[in-house]
Amino acid sequence: MTIAVSTTPGQPAAADWVRRLPEYLAIWVPLLLSAAHLIAFTLWTIWISFTPSTLVPVSGWVGLRNYSSVAASRNWQIALDNLLLFGSAFVLLSLATGLILAILLDQRIRGENLLRSIFLYPLAVSFVVTGTVWSWLLNPGLGIQKLVRDLGWTSFRFDWLIDRDMAIWTIVIAAIWQSSGFAMALFLAGLRSVDADLIKAAQIDGAGPIRMYRRVILPTLWPITITVIVIQLQFAISTFDLVRALTNGGPGIATQLPALVVYDLMFQRSLLGRGAAAAVLMLLILLAVLLPYAAWRYVQRRRAIDA
């Protein structure tokens, strides 16, 4: 004879609920608190962006003046151009690098674990460190250019860091180094979860490796690709510490990015209202990325339910 511990007849359901109360508290209280923080501070920032606040927040109403002055400023225009270039280059290249690394690692090679750790390792390094190290490596007087020249190729040039047209690419390089391991890890997990029967069926049908990847395996990675793109994009939009350590917006103001402009306006120039306006504009850019993603997820889920 067995006695069910939790559902003994006669015990009220309330007791069960009471026993599980700590679990509910542990989940819901922090969740609600962080949601409240997030929403409150977002609303607060939006409010500040319509006030004439400078050194400290003050009440008042200036309409869209903060927005128009941010939008008209040269720093913001440069930042937007850079974001477009950096965002697309970084996302596409890190995606491609991550995918290639994952496919190569997927060939059941020896030392896979070690290689995987090595590729993932940069993710464990803070962006400030990444930026600083790359600023040395890319510095023509100290890093790669000097190394190659010292080896004998005296006309070698790699001075992107100080070239105002190319400097933004140095940030792309460092960012890819940092995060393609992350894309690789996700892709690798996706590759490993592809149905073995599917692969066997394709092999029986006589598909070569390239054809198999193109027609059978890669299409199943589509959801992972979307996830990686969204995560990398929101990272690209909020990039701050990497640029600050690597170029600090320079040479001149050539590598400004929106997050740098926000910081600069709020804390360097003590223009809280304008800084908040720039921050809200950043939020809008982020929403422009996240809302289509949310919509796509919603459609996917509906399809899954319907199917």
Partner 1 sequence: MPITTTRRRLLAGSAAALALPAFARAQGAIKPRLTAISQWSAGSDGAAITALGKKFEEKGGVWQHSPVPGFTTEMMNKLRAQIMAGDPPACSQLKGPEIAAWSKIAPTVDLDAVVAAAGYEKVVAPDLAKLHKPGGKWIALPLQIYSTNMLFLSKRAMDKAKADKIPVTWAEFNDLAEKMKAGGVPYPIANGGTRADDGQKFEAALAGISPTAYRAAIMNLDKKALEGPEIKAAFVQVRKIADWMDPNVGAQHFSTNLKRFVDGDMGMMIMGGWAQGVLRNAGFKFEDFIIAPGPSDNSKPVFLLNADAFIFWQRKEPDLQAGQTLMAQLVMDPAIQTMYSQITGSIPVRTDVDLSGEGWSDGQRRTAAALKDAIASNQAVLSLAHNMAQENGMTAAIIDVITEYVKNKTIKPEQAAIRLADAVESSR
User: C-alpha distances in angstroms, 306 versus 201, 224, 231, 292, 303?
Assistant: 27, 22, 28, 21, 5
* Sole residue written with tokens 């395996």: 217
Stretch that binds partner 1, among 107-115, 245-253, 279-287, 291-299 (CB under 8 A): 245-253
215: contact with partner 1 by CB under 8 A: no
* Sole residue written with tokens 């674990």: 113
CA 307 – CA 301 distance, rounded (Å): 10
Which of 100, 120, 140, 213 is the binder for partner 1 (CB under 8 A)? 140
Tokens of 82: 């850079």
Q: Toward partner 1, which CB reaches closer, 185 or 246?
A: 246
Q: Toward partner 1, which CB reaches closer, 191 or 271?
A: 271
State the amino acid at position 105 in one-letter form.
Answer: L
Q: Toward partner 1, which CB reaches closer, 122 or 250?
A: 250
Which of 207, 218, 229, 253 is the binder for partner 1 (CB under 8 A)? 253
60: contact with partner 1 by CB under 8 A: no
Which of 30, 60, 141, 219 is the binder for partner 1 (CB under 8 A)? 141
Tokens of 298: 């919603």
164: contact with partner 1 by CB under 8 A: yes
Cis peptide bond prior to 140, omega within 30° of 0? no
Which of 45, 51, 54, 227 is the binder for partner 1 (CB under 8 A)? 54
303: contact with partner 1 by CB under 8 A: no
How many chain residues touch partner 1 (CB under 8 A)? Answer: 31
Which of 66, 97, 180, 247 is the binder for partner 1 (CB under 8 A)? 247
For 85, the 3-state DSSP assignment is: helix
Query: What do you get for the CA distance between the two ends of the chain, in Å?
Result: 44
